[in-house]
Structure formats: C-alpha cells, structure tokens
Structure 1
Amino acid sequence: MMRSLRLRLMLAAALLAVLFMVGLLPALQSAVSLALREAIEQRLASDVTTLISSARMESGQLRMPALLPDERFNLPDGRLLGYVYDRHGKLVWRSRAATEQHVEYTPRYDGQGNVFSRARGDDGREYWIYDVEVQLLGGQSAAYSFVALQSVDDYQNTLRSLREHFYLGFGAALLVLLLLLWGGLTWALRSLRRMSLELDEVEAGRREGLSDDHPRELLRLTRSLNRLLRSEREQRGRYRDSLGDLAHSLKTPLAVLQGVSENLAQHELEQALILQQQIERMSQQIGYQLQRASLRKSGLVQHRAPLRPLLESLCATLTKVYRDKPVAVSMELADPDWVPMEEGALLELLGNLLENAYRLCVGQVRLSLHDEPGWRVLSVEDDGPGVPATQRERILRRGERLDTQHPGQGIGLAVVKDIIDSYDAQLVLDDSPLGGAAFHIRLRLA
C-alpha cells in the first residue's frame, strides 16, 4: 500500500499523461496521414495538369510529345507514371517511366471530373492514382482520361519515419512532463512538509502549536489541531489543579486524624492501629490518583527520556534503602538509551518496578533495553520467587498483592499499568533466566 501522497499524485498524473498521449498519438498520426494524402493529391493534380497542357489534337488524334516538361515522366525507372485513356477505357498513351509497368486500373469516363484512389501494379506495389476527365476540342471523340500515378512507397516511408519521430518526441515529452510534474508536486506539497515539521516540533515539545503560515486549504486543519492542543493543555491543567486542591483539602483532616490516632494509641492500641491503617490507605489512594492525573501521556506531544541517568539515580537511592541487603545490578542498554516516554512517567514506572525487584530479589537485578521491529523493549528482571503464571493477571489489578509480609496497599503495579496503557504500550510478565520475574515493557516507536 502506497503511503506517500506525493507518490500517489505522481502516479495518477503520470497515468493520465500516458493515457492522454496514447490517445493523442493515433489522432496526430491520422492528421499527418491525411495531410500527406492531400499533399500527394495536389502534387498529382499538378502532374496531370502537365500532361493535359502537353497534349495536342491533330486530325482528330491525340498527340503527346516524346519528352514531357516534367522529367520524372521521362525516366525509365521513375516513380511518376503517366497514362492517357480514351472515353472507352482504352490506353492510348503512356509515359516512358510507365513502359515496363502495368497497373490494374481501368478509368471510367462518367463525367465525375476527377478521381483520387489507389491501385496495385503487377509487381505488387501500390500506387496513388489521380484521374482527370478532359474533353479536348469538344465532342465525344475528343474525351480522354489523363492519369498520373505515384508509388505509395514514398508515402509509407515518410509516414513510418514520422511515426518513429513521433514516438521519440512523445517519449521525450513524456519524460520532461513527468519531471515537471514531480517538481511541481514537490513545490505544491512543501506546505504539507512544513506542517509535518511543525508537528514534529510539537511532538518534541519545542513548540506549543502550529503556525498560520499555510495555504488556505490547510488552515482549518491547523487551527483545529491548535484548538485541540490548547484544549488538552487546559483540561490537563484543570485536572491537575482539581486533584491538587482535593489533596490539599484532605491533607489537614488526615493530619488531624493522624494526631487523634496517636492519642488514641495510648489507650486503645488495636483501634488506633486500625485507624492508622485506614489513614495510610486513604493517603496512598490520594497519591495514586494524583499520579494517574499527572503521568498520563499527552495526546500529540512525544517525549524522549534518557534511561541510564534515571536508572543510576534510582538504584543509588534503593541501595541506601536496602543497605542491609546487597543487590548486584547489571545494565544492558541499547545505544542510544532513550525511552519514548515523559521523564516523570518513566521515573514513576521504574521506581515501582525497581522497588519491587529490590524488595523481592535474592541478590541480583538485571535491567535491559533493546529494539524490536517497531518497538523499544525495557525489561526489569530479578532472581526472586517470581510470579506464578496463574497470578500474573491478578497482581496488575489495583489493591492486589502476592507479598503479604511487607506493608503496602498494592497500587504500585496498578500505577505502572495505568502509565503503560496511557502510552499505548504493552506490559508482559514472564519468567526470568535469573530465576525470578521478568517485566517487559514494550513501547511503540513513532
């Protein structure tokens, strides 16, 4: 399937140009052939006039000179033949060039004036024939048909040569036309190319919208895209502000409840623990909703975040957190090591996956980044207990946890899943060669 608009237009224009020329060539050849026939007819009419002007009537008999003014009639191997027939179709004179030629033609003196036609000779060659009926000195006995013949070979050779020149000329004209069409389409589609470059800048975050420096036909599209971008920015801003206001408004009541629970713990330890767990759960859920709002992918803007600096920073932090547990981290990263994701979203995603890997591993974590056709694959593996195949779908649901020995509400992987879904990516859980779980994040390449 052709994905290029310029190539489609070029092929359509080339097809129309070829069809036009294919239809024009026969018409042009027919016009040239007709013009040649008319030229031959006029020339033969002039030659017959020469025959008529040379004829003399003596004692009621037709007399023709031994040599005619037009030397072509006098040459034995000439291509111009002259004949004179009486009113009964009997041959009464022939030119020297016609001495050895016999043409299957019998004139009919019928008062029609002149006839232009074709006939074939004994040697198989075809001839143009121009027949003029003339009454010399009046009376039926002085009625003759003066006939001039010319070989068709010259006409056919001329027509063949012109046809070859037509083919060469039309081929060259078609090539020039295609080059001009390609140049014209390239010039005409510059505006689309310019708009594509502006979209690339929008996706890269280097500009906020498209300019109005485009043809009238594209302005509606560019303005609609600008409205979409502006609306998206405003909606995301309102979404973040609303959730920020919600979190701020809940912060004070949660702090009060936290203080109450601490006071209550001095008297009712069990009830205080229940209250603290619920407060912690509420705080985590608020954080989760804020993360969902702030880490979703923008509609048009595409980001690229460097991976190695983020991994080194996170690993350094987690090494301090799990300082009592030596963890060997290995990295196998493609070059360049960028990931098609916003840096904040990538940091949150890796933070959750690496925290799980550090917490559950025995002592080894492996991070890798490699390319597949159309995808960039980021993998986080460990040598821990792994995830049973029957439980892999369940742990991605919010609030579901397999590890019950450590505190938490089970929303880390849910955040990861939401980020991956917002980027139209894929999360694949598998067994790692290290012995534990392998999380493969497959991100689409634009």
Structure 2
Amino acid sequence: MIRSLRVRLMLGAATLAALFMLALLPVLQGAFRSALEGVIEQRLAADAATLISAARIESGRLSMPERLPDEEFNLLESKLLGFIYDRDGTLLWRSPSSGDERIDYRPRYDGEGYDFTRLHDERGVEFFVYDLEVDLLRGQAAAYSIVTMQPASEYQAMLDGLGRQLWLWLGGALLVLLGLLWLGLTWGFGSLRALSRELDEVEGGNRDHLSREHPRELLRLTDSLNRLLDGERRQRERYRDSLGDLAHSLKTPLAVLQGVGEALAEREQARVLQSQVERMSQQVDYQLQRASLRKSGLVRHREPLAQTLETLCGALDKVYRDKRVRVWRDFPAELCVPMERGALFELLGNLLENAYRLCLGQIRVGARATADGCELLVEDDGPGIPVDQRARILQRGERLDSQHPGQGIGTAVVVDILDSYDGELQLEDSELGGACFRMKLPG
C-alpha cells in the first residue's frame, strides 16, 4: 500500500491526465481529418472550375483544348485526374493525367449540384472524388458531370504523421503537466511539513501548543490537537499530583520501616527487610520522577548493567534461597543500558522476580551493544510460555501462574517502561528450556 499522500495524489492525477489525453487524441485526429477533407474538397472544386472554364460546346458537342490551364491535368505522372460525363454517365473526356488509370465511376446526374465522396480503382487505390453538375456552359444549355479526383494516399500519410506528432505532443504535455503538478504539490505540502515540525517540537518539549499559522483547511485539525494536548497535559498533572500524594504518604511509613530494619540489622531477615524497603523507596522516587519528566528527559541516562543486576540478584537470592538459583551473566562488564536507574531496576526487577519464581535453577541475563542501541535478554529454564499465550501475559492483570501470589501487572509494567523508551519486547523460547524475554532499546 502506498503510504505517501503526495505519491497517491500524483498517481491519481497522472491517471486522470493520461485518460484525458487518450480521450482527447481521437477528438483532435477527427477534427484534423475533417479540416483536411474540407481543404481537399475545396481544391477539387477549384480544379473542377478550371475544367469548366476550359470547356467549349461546338456544334452541340463538347470540346476541350489539348492543353489545359492547370498543368497537373496535362502530366501523365500527375495525381490530379479530370473527367467529363454526359447526363447518361457516358465518359466524354478525360485528362491526359488519367491515361493509365482504370476507374469505374458512374456519376449520378440528379440535380443535387455536387457530390464529394471516395472510391477505389481496380488496384484498390483510394481516391477523393468531386462531382459537379453543370446545366449551363458559356451561356449554352448543357448537362454534364465535371469530375475531379485525387489519390487519398497523401492524405493518409499526413494523418499518420499527425498521429505520431500528437502522441509526442500530448506525451510531452503530460510530462510537463506532471512536473508542474509535482512542484505545486511540493509547495502545497509545505504547510503539512510546517505542521509536522511543530508536532516534533511539541513532542520534544519545546512547544506547548500548535500555532494557527496554517491554511484554513488545517485549522480544525490543529485546534483539535491543541485541545487533545491540553487534556493530556491536565491528565498528566493529575497523575503527577496523585503520585506525589502517594509518595508523600508512603515516605513516612517507609522511613519508619527503614529505621526498624537498621535497629534489627544483625538479623538476616532484617537485612532482607531493609533492602526491600530501600528498593520500595527507590521505586517511589522513580515513579514520582517519571510522572514529572517527559520521555526525552529519561532517555539521556545510561546505567551500568552489572551493578544493577548484582543488587537485584542479591536481594532475590535471599528471598528464594531455598531454590539455589544460579544466574549466568552473558555481557561485557562495562556495558551500560540507555535507561534511567529507577526504570532499569523496575524493568529487571519484574523480569528477574518472575524468572526466580518459575525457573528450575538457572537464569541467564545477556546483553550486547548494537548499532542503534542495546539488546537485553532474560532467560530461564522454567516451563516457558505457550505461543498462543504470549500476547495475553503482556496485558495488565493477566497471569498464567495461579499458584503464587501476584497482581499480574509485572510484564505490563515492563511493556510500559519499554514503550516510554521506544523499546521493543519479544517473547521467545530460551535455549535453557524456558522463556526468553528479548528487549531492544534505542541508544
């Protein structure tokens, strides 16, 4: 499917212009044919008048001079033929130029005055025929048909040449028309390009609203987009205020829990509690920051993967210490992920928590830098995810594992985070036997 509006308009205009040219071609050819036949008829009429001026009636008989005023009638190789018939259609005289022609023509003396038609000789050669009835010749009563003829071959050659010229002219006109149309569309689409630039500025945070300096046809669209932007901005502010209130209400309880954890730091369970309280505090800070920052503000961060993974695995190893999970690290030690620290903790935390819960004993975290960003993998040796269920588990509230507690939002949160960074998530089968979460992040 053609996705360019300008190309669609060009193809549509080119098709209509080509159809118009094809319809115009036979009209022009017909007009030229009629004009050319009119010229030939006038010429043959003038030649018939020449014969009439040269004719005499002597002793009741037609008399013609040996040489006619028009030399074309006197030359054997000439293509202008002349004949004179009586009332009964009997040939009385023929011009010297018609000496070798075998033309079976019978004039019809019916009082109509003249007739312009075509005929073919014995060889199939086509002629134009002008037949003029004469009732009075130099003051004397007469009843003759003065006939002049001309081959149609020259006429057909002119028509063929005109047809070729018309194809060239109309084809050239079509190309010029399409070129002008392309320039016109380029100029006309300048307003759309200006609108696109303003939208880019809105997306980049450099503009709050679209201007009204656009054609009238686009003002309704820009007004609707401005109302949508205002509504989105108000909604984002409500979310930010709600998250701010939530963060404020959780800060004090978290501080109390953290203080209790520090007081009981000598116990193993207290250290686990303290690490989880710190993680909760970090996530509250991250969610508050995410509500107030735009996407462009988050993309600028780069976080070391090894350090984040070490922190998360240390906490999860204590929670799932009975499983003795082994985590394989398959990435360079210095590799950094183009993501803010809190977002990376949230992303890996959800995926690793699922992997720890469902694996049999092995997890592999792989990563590599790519030409356009970074690719991150989290694999396990658990039961895996059926192909027909992979789209379902990415939806908020959907869970395949009903034997463990949870709200079914972990993978949905992962998708939300990746969307905010223009990333992609693919679910595949792991070489370990379980599920593989493959994530691609732009750099």
Asked if these proteins are the same fold (TM beyond 0.5), I'd say yes
User: Structure 1 residues 314 and 69, CA, compared in 2 at 3 Å: closer, same or farther?
Assistant: same
| Identical aligned residues as a percent | 46
Structure 1 residues 282 and 153, CA gap change in structure 2 (3 angstroms): same
1:181 is aligned to 181
For 1:174-323, what aligned pairs fall within 5 Å after superposition? Answer: 174-249=174-249, 251=251, 254=253, 295=290, 305=299, 309-311=303-305, 314-315=308-309
Please say if residues 104 and 121 of structure 1, whose CA atoms lie closer than 8 Å, have aligned partners that are also in contact.
Answer: yes
The unaligned stretches of length 5 or more in structure 2 are 319-324
Shift of 1:308: 5.4
- 2:344 maps to 1:349: no
CA distance in 2, matches of 1:24, 1:77: 39
After superposition, what is the alpha-carbon deviation per residue over 1:36-87, rounded to whole angstroms, capped at 9, x for unaligned? 0000001111111111111122222222111111111110011000111111
Residue type at the aligned position of 2:38: E
What secondary structure, in the 3-state scheme, does the structure 2 residue paired with 1:211 have?
Answer: coil
Unaligned runs of 5+ in 1: 266-272
Paired residue for 1:166?
166
RMSD: 5.0
Aligned to 1:420: 415
CA drift of 1:95 comes to 0.7
In structure 2, the CA distance between the partners of 1:149 and 1:381, relative to structure 1 (3 Å rule), is same
Match of 1:366 in 2: 365
Question: Do 1:191 and 1:214's aligned partners in 2 also have CA atoms closer than 8 Å?
Answer: yes
Letter in 2 for 1:239: Y
Contact kept in structure 2, 1:86 and 1:145, CA below 8 Å: yes
TM-score (normalizing by structure 2): 0.74
Q: C-alpha separation between the residues in 2 aligned to 1:194 and 1:233?
A: 23
Decide which of 435, 438, 441 is 1:440's aligned counterpart: 438
Q: Deviations over 1:217-264 (max 9, x none)?
A: 122212222222232122111112123224424655x479869999xx
Q: Please, what TM-score do these two structures have when normalized by structure 1?
A: 0.74
Indicate whether 1:58 and 2:58 are aligned.
Answer: yes
| Equivalence map 1:100-139=2 (5 Å) | 100-134=100-134, 135-137=136-138
Change (3 A) 1:85 1:286: same
Please name the residue that 1:13 is paired with: 13
CA distance in 1, matches of 2:259, 2:298: 46
Contact 1:428–1:440 (CA under 8 A) maintained in structure 2: yes
Query: How much has 1:151 moved relative to structure 2?
Result: 0.6
Shift in CA distance, 231/245, structure 1 to aligned 2, threshold 3 Å: same
State the match for 2:49 in structure 1: 49
CA distance in 2, matches of 1:390, 1:117: 88
Cα pair distance change 1:439/1:163, threshold 3 Å: closer
Quick one: which amino acid aligns to residue 4 of structure 2? S
Which of 356, 375, 378 matches 2:376? 378
In 1, the alpha carbon distance for the partners of 2:128 and 2:347 equals 93
1: CA distance, partners of 2:250 / 2:222: 42
CA–CA distance in structure 1, aligned partners of residues 186 and 240 of structure 2: 44
Partners in 2 of 1:308 and 1:180 — Cα distance?
Answer: 50
Structure 1, residues 138-187: CA drift from partner, whole Å, max 9, x if none? 665x2211111011111111111111111121122222222222222222
Give the residue type in structure 1 aligned to 2:413: D
Which one is further off, 360-369 or 110-119? Answer: 360-369
Kept in 2, the 8 Å contact 1:400–1:410? The answer is no
